[in-house]
Structure 1
């Protein structure tokens, strides 16, 4: 309601009435002036003024009934001239109605009514002046003027349609970007929540189990819970800030990426999952989207290993190549598929979406000898200068 008052609730009705009112004033005033140089025509009287006003008044409904309004304006002008009233801007209402019909898309009906009206005027001229030849020069001038008006109307209609299509395309692109952003936030929340909540659950169990027998170890587990919960709160605040559209300055916590992989592995080791890291090739700077996707895939894979592999160890392998990065996470547990694959969760599907969004692929499944493997291929642009120049490009490095 406030927006309507601020924008002016009267703006729509005012636009609907102003044009017909202007047409009425111009038509009546112009016809009275033109009548002064037509002494042999029938003097203007109340019926003549009423006929001049009929077409202008019908323009109020031009947007709802464009073809009907055009027909009414044409009939009023035809009857006005048939009664031998003087010429003047009596066709203005009809031209405005025709333009409105063409611009609104009612082209066929507009051209049909205009053609019939033009033919009717020629017939009327022959009936009124049977001894005079058909004024071809005047008719040609009318047709030329009408053709110019039609061309302008068609240009305006095409322009409006093009602008409408561009607006729809822009709205669709914005909706698509919004959907992609919501999907990205949902994946990040799932990965972050699953990882940190799983760590908190494991460490809470350790703390409860060792509270009486080993208070120092229980204290370490509680400290890990505090650290993990703090990380979780920071990530949730950042995500909620994006959802609210609040820009509170640059993020203080490091962005999730390969640079934080050592911290991630340390958290999993403290939660009871032995993890080894193998890097093949020279490490280099990756595009931010690839860097974050690789981190999240490793994070989710290790979370699934803690949840579903039982007592197990894990092995993370990063293989840098000129055209991409391969991320592989193996565990030697029971090797059963993660429930996210079959019960509608978003773990494995989310990882596939991350890889697919970058033009890559991800495969996941049990291994023949036991355990479970997740392998993602993430394409990257041409290799940038290596971050570790002294590192061999093909020999593995274990951490």
Structure 2
């Protein structure tokens, strides 16, 4: 069903971001507005040309006028079938000239058709149509004129052929800048489409990471507190009440953070309701971990950080502590903060032992931490320690000259 919806919405999606690279969509509109005045000009101009060439060329009869209308009518399809229109107008004009009718604006139909073919990217077809027209005219004007009307006509001067050839080359050459400009617009449109899709993908990934970090941490705390409450419900109701209070507070906080993330989807570009979390919220994170039965020691003070680095550092610590709560049998963890030049170093240790088959760091949480670090040009190392337990080591580069620090926020 999804594939069918994509196929059905294909053209509409193309023009939202631009057509796919290399695709040349066919226009659904007929160019009436430009073709109608051109037809009037060709018909009226041919009458004037017939009077000017009276005695030299055959008069305009009904057959000639039909050919003029046909040549102009073919131009209505120049956007849909530019190659066929280019050759069709060239053939019609050859028949018109072969019947001895006067030179004039009829040649303009071939010029417009070939111009459209070049702009549409069919350069070789346009040049071929012009070459066929010129070669056919040379053949009629210099070898077959004895058997063609008007009677008693002589061979055309070669200088005239040079003028016709120059005119044809000029028409096709002038269409090249238009073709180049159109292709440049198509490339720019495709690049904007790719950039828009790339930004959308990055935004989806960012939201997915935020939701995972918020929900994983909150649900882990709720799960631990629910276990404590169930265990103490009969023996220590007061402690069970405290656990239930913690569950309620944590679930309310999680719902608020989830709502904030989802609001960014409903109103792109709108200011968030609350400040983005950072290492200034580390004491609150330690208190939440303590409510889940984990004692956390913090060493070092967080330096002023750019907002993106501050958020990533907070999420790394949050996910690492969540990992300890869910997968470690230890009741103690240490968070060490330090700055090494332009690099923020975070180390989160626990004494283990690991519990559960997925305690080795293969879940989505650690993968999300690595993605956050990689987005800033940093690294994440996570794995068992030689002396037991588990360690997460993060190195996050600080953007030099970035003044959007914690104090600014």
Q: Give the TM-score normalised by the residue count of structure 2.
A: 0.84
Shift in CA distance, 58/170, structure 1 to aligned 2, threshold 3 Å: same
Across the aligned residues of Structure 1 and Structure 2, the Cα RMSD in angstroms comes to: 2.5
- Pairs within 5 Å for 1:249-398: 249-251=271-273, 253-279=274-300, 283-335=302-354, 339=358, 345-382=363-400
1:29 and 2:44 correspond: yes
What is the CA-CA distance between 1:120 and the residue it aligns to? Answer: 1.8
Q: Which of 105, 122, 125 pairs up with 2:121? A: 105
Deviation digits for residues 276-314 of structure 1 (CA, Å, limit 9, x no counterpart): 01116xx43211111111100110111011111023311
1:76 and 2:98 correspond: no
1:242 and 2:243 correspond: no
Shift in CA distance, 247/218, structure 1 to aligned 2, threshold 3 Å: farther
Shift in CA distance, 214/340, structure 1 to aligned 2, threshold 3 Å: closer
What's the counterpart of residue 157 of structure 2?
134
91-100 or 216-225: which moved more? 216-225
Shift in CA distance, 337/184, structure 1 to aligned 2, threshold 3 Å: farther
What secondary structure sits across from 1:339 in the alignment? coil
Q: Give the TM-score normalised by the residue count of structure 1.
A: 0.86
Q: Is contact 1:358-1:378 (8 Å) kept?
A: yes
What is the CA-CA distance between 1:172 and the residue it aligns to? Answer: 0.6
Shift in CA distance, 367/158, structure 1 to aligned 2, threshold 3 Å: same
CA–CA separation in structure 2 for the residues paired with 1:350 and 1:52: 70
- Pairs within 5 Å for 1:212-223: 212-223=234-245
Q: Is contact 2:226-2:244 (8 Å) kept?
A: yes
What's the counterpart of residue 30 of structure 2?
15
* Gap regions ≥5 residues in structure 1: 5-11, 389-399
What is the CA-CA distance between 1:105 and the residue it aligns to? Answer: 1.1
Counting matched residue pairs gives 372
Q: Is contact 1:290-1:380 (8 Å) kept?
A: yes
What is the CA-CA distance between 1:152 and the residue it aligns to? Answer: 2.4
